[in-house]
Structure 1
Amino acid sequence: MPHWTDHAIWWQVYPLGFTGAPARAVGAPLRHRLRACEPWLDYAVELGCSGLLLGPIFAAETHGYDTVDFFRIDPRLGDDDDFDRLITAAADRGLRVVLDGVFNHVGRTFAKFIEAEAGDPAAARWFRRDATGEYQTFEGHHHLVALNHDEPAVADHVQRVMNHWLDRGAAGWRLDAAYAVPADFWARVLPGVRERHPQVWMVGEMIHGDYAGYATASGLDSVTQYELWKALWSSLNDGNFYELAWALKRHNDILGAVTPLTFVGNHDVTRIATRLTDQRHLGHALAVLFTVAGIPSVYSGDEQAFQGTKQDRVGGDDEIRPVFPADPSGLAPYGWPTYRLHQRLIGLRRRNPWLVRARTTADHLTNHAVALRSDGDAGEKVLLLLNIGDEPYRFPIDLTGLRVAETATETVDPAVVAPHSWTVLTTIAD
């Protein structure tokens, strides 16, 4: 990985929703909505983040994942000047910007697909077909036509797109639906990008499958850690920390090959504040996120305890991709305690950057209480004590050499964690 990602903490933004862009691009006039992100940059810095993980910003038909022109900013968001302004404003604050690249499929008005349907055999080779000759689609969505990753022209196109926006100041790419793309495609594309941009960061969206194997074969720097995400909220809801402990064993194995992107929420899932059945456990989820290995990401709004349910229907993402106010002063007052909790835990993470590649084990484990120890290569240690039971819990662990760094509930005895509370202890500095 590029060295700067050891300290990366992302604030993820879905620009089309964030800025209130219309749902459909057809007939929508040019509007400079991308500039609406600028008043939020200081907010992201104060949160403790070091970069923006942007959702799709290229010309598309509807939600941005149906791209029609990879070299043009979506007119609903603005133009090249708006992109340059955002990159400059972010850089002025020390923020890097990673873009969302949808290179598995395109919208049906993508120029090459129009040419293919018109009978151009060279253009037709850009797209996958089934045994009947029909164009294949992404997971059954008719409007998303699957690219043919065996076609050299497709690989050349993707490489040119990546380099174009990296040349203009982007720091990396999130590769949407990477799990649907053959790993050898990235192995062919990425070397030409890295040769020109050796510090680029590439993270692939992996929902299922062999994370470590895919990362190794593809040459990706990172993959999305959905296994850990699921175990986090599920173990808290079910009162089953054995699930979390098992997921962290898997997490340790993955770390042998790749440093994953970790999160408790993103633009594709129900908000963590909605997903948890007991709001007292939000801090537990965040404490795990910021004390285990990986590159953490905070989905915009989660730091304010936004609510939102993802639904399996047309427009089912609208609730989790809302319009934001013009600037942070427009936020509701009841979300700021969660923001400050994020600040505290991100601050803890920044004081212990070695956590990016730590290994975490369960030193003590019951259904409702767990002690998670994260170890660094130089003897550093972070111990996270979680209690989701209705009674105080005394952890039978030797805390010699450790001090309380953060806690949800002050206590005289650090080995005792209050009901539905948590405590983080770190190595005492020499």
Structure 2
Amino acid sequence: MWTYNSVFYQIYPIGFCGAPVHNDGVTVPRIRKIMEWSDYLKDLGVDSILLNPIFDSDNHGYDTRDFRKIDCRLGTNEDFSDVCKDLHDHDIKIVLDGVFNHVGRGFWAFRDVQEKKWDSPYKDWFHISFDGNSCYNDGFWYEGWEGHFELVKLNLQNPTVVDYLLDCVRFWIDTFDIDGLRLDVAYCLDREFMKRLRQFTQELKPDFALIGEVLFGDYNQIVNDEMLHSCTNYECYKGLYSSFNCMNLFEIAHSLNRQFGPEDWCIYRGKHLMTFADNHDVTRLASILTNPAHIPLAYGLLLGMPGIPCLYYGSEWGEKGEKAPDNDYALRPCFDAPKPNELTKFIKKLIQIRQNSDALCNGSYRNVVIQNHQLIFERCSEKERILVTVNASDSPYTAWHQALNGTVHDLISNTEIHMDGKLEIPPYSTMYLKF
């Protein structure tokens, strides 16, 4: 599966393109801005782009009005078709946000129910009771997503709804030639719907990728041969930043071993989960880490550990952004142009190394040395063996272990190191040591 060897770049288009927060009904081809960044993305080394909602919506994109029409704030279907062709010309695959659990109150079928009530042929597309009323005084009650009644929950057990959504996916593939979908709130989705989606997309495009947004629980329940190829690894997201903030690398080492380690009880060995340091829903890495010197180290871990790494636009140069109690606007800014710096250059190097490494993309995981401030783990495949080292301390550290023997090549600094049972690790450093 192509995703297993990819590095993703995530963009929230409504924010990235500087569109109004609320749909103003004015068509402006802002989505074409992505084409101004395609050379930069190609140079950075990412080979897949994850775009959050782009379809016609009431406000933030997750409140869809029309699944077949690009949001007018971003442009037209023709504009987005040009963007997709440009990205593919740069060898960048395209994954869209599939928001199938709910729609906005402006969704065309829900508007029909508002107007015709019992007489609407679409009343069974939603979870509706005409014995109650909504907080919007619609004259009927309906289920919203997790208490958010601006988001109307779809009835995915209604075959007509499923057929409609699958037909929209077919339209996206035929019109834009997309390569995959990120399923919003996949933990809420009907399992039979996900099975049907997997079968349907595989018949249309055999290498079509399905990646679920999952915050908790057993990822095996939906990441399997019948449903999704991958899902978001929130456990390791949390461990990634809090290990540095608490100066306790045992936390991330425990999570990685629990998920991918060599023991029989390790739960996700062989799976490729989507890993990230931040995204459109959480405070950015540069704002959540208490020590700025740890930012490159976190990316050293991210690109070295098992999974499918995903960078969030702007964080590759250390952009800050804090999640607010009532909105996420600060997390989803508009930049006039990329602002690459030394951190960007370092991440570019890590991406290049990873994409040329079978061990880092597909290899096994084994903890070698774990200390509060230091971590060494091994990634190993049939083709190669690599040690990933991190020293989060401001002092050098000497690691001792029987695995630290032989001559290795540090792929980051491009230097050779001879180990005789010990290894000197500089302060605030990451090394990828290839045997």
Normalised by the size of structure 2, how large is the TM-score?
0.90
Q: Contact between 2:102 and 2:154, CA under 8 Å: does it hold in 1? A: yes
Partners of 1:232 and 1:95 lie apart in 2 by: 27
> 1:191-240 CA deviation, whole Å, 9 max, x = no partner?
12211111211111111111112222851111011111110001111011
Which residue matches 1:319?
330
Q: Which amino acid aligns with 1:56?
A: P
Q: How far off its partner does 1:122 sit?
A: 3.6
Q: How far off its partner does 1:366 sit?
A: 1.4
Q: How far off its partner does 1:419 sit?
A: 2.3
Q: Which amino acid aligns with 1:350?
A: Q
Partners of 2:227 and 2:246 lie apart in 1 by: 37
Q: Contact between 2:54 and 2:71, CA under 8 Å: does it hold in 1? A: yes
Indicate the SS of the match to 1:43. Answer: helix
Which residue matches 1:82?
79
From the superposition, tell whether residues 305 and 38 of structure 1 become closer, same or farther in structure 2 (CA, over 3 Å).
same
Indicate the SS of the match to 1:31. Answer: coil
From the superposition, tell whether residues 257 and 104 of structure 1 become closer, same or farther in structure 2 (CA, over 3 Å).
farther
Which residue matches 1:22?
20
Q: RMSD value over aligned CA atoms?
A: 2.2
How many residues are paired up? Answer: 415
Which residue matches 1:155?
162
Q: How far off its partner does 1:184 sit?
A: 2.0
Indicate the SS of the match to 2:405. Answer: coil
Which residue matches 1:10?
8
> 1:313-371 CA deviation, whole Å, 9 max, x = no partner?
1xx2111100110x33xx3xxx5111101111111101203422322221111111111
Partners of 2:416 and 2:21 lie apart in 1 by: 47
Q: Which runs of 5+ in 1 are unaligned?
A: none
Q: Contact between 1:183 and 1:218, CA under 8 Å: does it hold in 2? A: no
Q: How far off its partner does 1:410 sit?
A: 11
1:387 aligns with 2:388: no
Q: Which amino acid aligns with 1:282?
A: I
Which residue matches 2:254?
246
Q: Aligned match of 2:293 in 255, 280, 286?
A: 280
Q: How far off its partner does 1:421 sit?
A: 2.2
Which residue matches 1:177?
185
Q: Which amino acid aligns with 1:308?
A: G
Q: Contact between 1:172 and 1:202, CA under 8 Å: does it hold in 2? A: yes
Indicate the SS of the match to 1:298. Answer: strand
Partners of 1:369 and 1:248 lie apart in 2 by: 15
Indicate the SS of the match to 2:411. Answer: strand
Q: How far off its partner does 1:28 sit?
A: 3.2
Partners of 2:165 and 2:44 lie apart in 1 by: 34
Q: Contact between 2:32 and 2:79, CA under 8 Å: does it hold in 1? A: yes
- Percent of paired sites with the same residue: 34
For 1:248-263, list aligned pairs within 5 A: 248-252=256-260, 253-256=266-269, 258-263=271-276
My pick for the range that moved more, 157-166 or 15-24, is: 157-166
Q: How far off its partner does 1:412 sit?
A: 9.3
Partners of 1:403 and 1:257 lie apart in 2 by: 26
Q: Contact between 1:409 and 1:422, CA under 8 Å: does it hold in 2? A: no
Q: How far off its partner does 1:411 sit?
A: 8.9
Q: Contact between 1:409 and 1:418, CA under 8 Å: does it hold in 2? A: no
Which residue matches 1:297?
310
From the superposition, tell whether residues 64 and 409 of structure 1 become closer, same or farther in structure 2 (CA, over 3 Å).
farther
Runs (4+) of structure 1 exceeding 4 A deviation are 129-133, 407-414
1:136 aligns with 2:133: no
> 1:60-113 CA deviation, whole Å, 9 max, x = no partner?
000101111000000000001101110111111111111111101000111111
Indicate the SS of the match to 2:19. Answer: coil
Q: Aligned match of 1:221 in 229, 234, 243?
A: 229
Q: Which amino acid aligns with 1:90?
A: L
Partners of 2:242 and 2:312 lie apart in 1 by: 19
Q: Contact between 2:407 and 2:416, CA under 8 Å: does it hold in 1? A: no
1:126 aligns with 2:121: no
Q: How far off its partner does 1:130 sit?
A: 7.5
Which residue matches 1:361?
366
1:165 aligns with 2:172: yes
Partners of 1:129 and 1:149 lie apart in 2 by: 13
Normalised by the size of structure 1, how large is the TM-score?
0.91
